[in-house]
Structures are given as C-alpha cells and as structure tokens.
C-alpha cells in the first residue's frame, strides 16, 4: 500500500495528471505495519520471557543493519548531490538521531530521520525497548499495553517537546492491537477458514476506505481496519506456505529500498514517456515491478547474508 501510494504520487506529480484512486488511503499501510509488528514481536517475546537483553538484541539485529545501510546511502546521495532528496538536508544532530532511532524535528516541523520513511522504525525500536523492559516484570504484555496507553493519556499534559509529541502519539496503541491478536492466535481457539479470512480482509479494506474521510482519530479510523486486515492474514488464513511468501519475506527490504528505486527509475523513464494517461499507467506498472525486483535482490543478496553474518554462533552438538 505504501509503495503504490508513493508510485501514484510520483506519477501524478511528473505527468501533471489527475490519476485515478487518489482518494484511497494508501499510506495507511503504515498502520497495518504497526499492528503486524505488535503481533510478530509478541510471538518473538514469548521465547525470551526471562531474557529481556537477548530479546532486544535479537530485535535490533533484525532491523538495524539494513536501516543503517540505507541511511548511510541517503547521506551519501545528499553529499554527492545536495538537494537531490526533497525536504532533506544534512545536519550532524539529525544524522546522529537517525542512527540512534531518536525523533528529530526537521526545519519544516516534520519529525523524521534522514531516511524520512524511517520515522516508523523510530516507533518500532521504541516498542522493542519498552517491551524488553516489561519482560523483566510478571505480566509483561499487559504492562506494556498499559504503558503505551498511559503515554497517550499523559501526552496532552506534557510540554510540547519533540520527544513528548512523538512518543505520546495515539498511533502507538496500534501495537496493542497486534498484541491482542497474537494472544488470540496463541490460544488456538480460532479455526482458520479461507472464506472467513477473505471476508475479514474485505471488511478491513472497506472500513479503511470509508473511515478515511471521517473525523475519527487515525488510531481508530485506520488502526481498527488494520487490525481486521492483520487478523485476516493471521487468525483466519489457513496456516500453509503461500506462493507470494517471498514478497512478504522481502517486505522490509521493499520498504527501505523503494524510494531509491523510484528515483532511479523515474530519471530513466521520464525522458522517453509522453505525458499521456496511458504512459502514466505504464510508468506506475514499471515502477511497481522495478521496486519489487530490487527488493527481492536486496533481501536475497544483502539482507539475508548480513543477518547470517551477525547471527550468534551455534554451540557444537
């Protein structure tokens, strides 16, 4: 969803056309990401109940290397071609905050790292750290959910600092939706059913569209439909390998790499395409395929070898 939203926006900008499906909430794929994260991290934490340090190390080992690589690539692009990335400027404090997953307010007021889409990963790492602290307590998941809810409640009463604004955003409650789904999944009470999965998925997508234009806060308008979408893929979908599993495996690589692929493909294709609706649609299709192909290559030839190299050595049997 995020990829398609970015591609559509790119095409609409450069072709100066009013392309279809512009009102769909493409960027709300981020909300699905937060719910999925809550789900997956809950299952991961179950194996590290008495080892919060090991849990946090494992999670950081999973997300930091590829993020650091693409953050460094962003900095290299800015050094080589200043102004190449819109709304992104080099600043030592900004760079440091970016590598440490700490919120930083840009001159325009947006809170985002050098690799701008990494703002979601700032929340992700914060969630890891909070849950790791809670793993040392008797009821870690309940305590983590209570802490997230407490931050949201406390937010309006705190000074308007960058950290307070960022860490009390109600979006953090979407992690709790994923935690709840994971707990349901662990009970094994729900029997998977493809018709139920497809119905739940369709309902979630429909609500995502219908609630997008309402005055509801995002955590409800997007978070609850995101929970249904995630439930469809976890609680209700039959638990068997699917043909498109490789794309799911490469989703992190896709998220981090697609902006670079978009820029390169745009520079290559724009000079040879006419400014027509048909050319704009061909542009969107080509960029989608290019981004997916690059992500699969990054996952296979960069991400997986990197993770293997950083994995702890197994004791001999």
DSSP-derived secondary structure for 184-234: HHHHT-SPP-HHHHHHHHHHHHHHHHHSTTSSS-HHHHTHHHHHHHHHIII
Residue 275 lies in a domain: yes
What's residue 16's pLDDT? 82
For residue 84, what are the CA distances in angstroms to 90, 94, 171?
12, 17, 30
Work out how many domains the chain is built from and give that number: 1
What's residue 86's pLDDT? 57
Residue 317 lies in a domain: no
CB of 159 within 8 A of CB of 72?
A: no
Residue 177 lies in a domain: yes
Residue 27 lies in a domain: yes
CB of 24 within 8 A of CB of 170?
A: no
Residue 115 lies in a domain: yes
Residue 316 lies in a domain: no
Residue 93 lies in a domain: yes
What pTM was estimated for this model as a whole? 0.92
pLDDT one-digit tens code per residue, 213-235: 899 999 999 999 999 999 999 99
Residue 315 lies in a domain: no
| Domain with 226 in it | 2-310
pLDDT one-digit tens code per residue, 26-65: 989 999 999 999 999 999 998 888 899 999 999 999 999 9
Residue 70: name the closest of 251, 221, 259 by CA.
Answer: 259
């Amino acid at each position: 969803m995020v990829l398609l939203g970015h591609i559509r926006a790119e095409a609409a900008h450069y072709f100066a056309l009013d392309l279809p499906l512009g009102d769909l909430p493409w960027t709300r794929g981020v909300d699905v990401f937060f719910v999925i994260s809550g789900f997956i991290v809950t299952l991961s934490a179950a194996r590290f109940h008495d080892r919060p340090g090991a849990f946090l190390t494992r999670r950081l080992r999973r997300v930091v290397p590829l993020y650091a690589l693409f953050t460094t690539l962003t900095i290299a692009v800015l050094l080589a071609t200043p102004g190449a990335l819109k709304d992104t400027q080099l600043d030592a404090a900004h760079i440091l905050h970016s590598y440490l997953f700490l919120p930083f307010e840009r001159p325009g007021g947006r809170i985002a790292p050098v690799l701008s889409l990494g703002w979601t990963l700032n929340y992700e790492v914060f969630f890891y750290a909070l849950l790791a602290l809670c793993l040392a307590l008797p009821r870690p998941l309940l305590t983590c959910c209570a802490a997230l809810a407490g931050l949201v409640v406390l937010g309006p009463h705190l000074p308007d600092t960058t950290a307070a604004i960022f860490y009390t955003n109600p979006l953090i409650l979407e992690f709790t939706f994923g935690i709840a789904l994971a707990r349901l999944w662990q009970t094994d009470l729900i029997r998977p059913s493809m018709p139920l999965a497809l119905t739940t998925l369709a309902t979630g997508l429909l609500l995502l569209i219908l609630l997008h234009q309402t005055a509801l806060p995002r955590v409800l308008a997007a978070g609850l439909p995101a929970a249904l979408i995630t439930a469809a893929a976890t609680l209700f979908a039959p638990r068997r390998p699917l043909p498109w599993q490789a794309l799911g495996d490469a989703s992190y690589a896709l998220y981090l790499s697609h902006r670079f692929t978009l820029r390169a493909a745009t520079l290559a294709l724009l000079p040879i395409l006419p400014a027509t609706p048909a050319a704009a649609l061909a542009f969107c299709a080509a960029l989608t395929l290019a981004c997916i192909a690059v992500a699969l290559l990054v996952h296979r030839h960069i991400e997986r070898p990197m993770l293997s190299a950083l994995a702890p050595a197994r004791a001999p049997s």
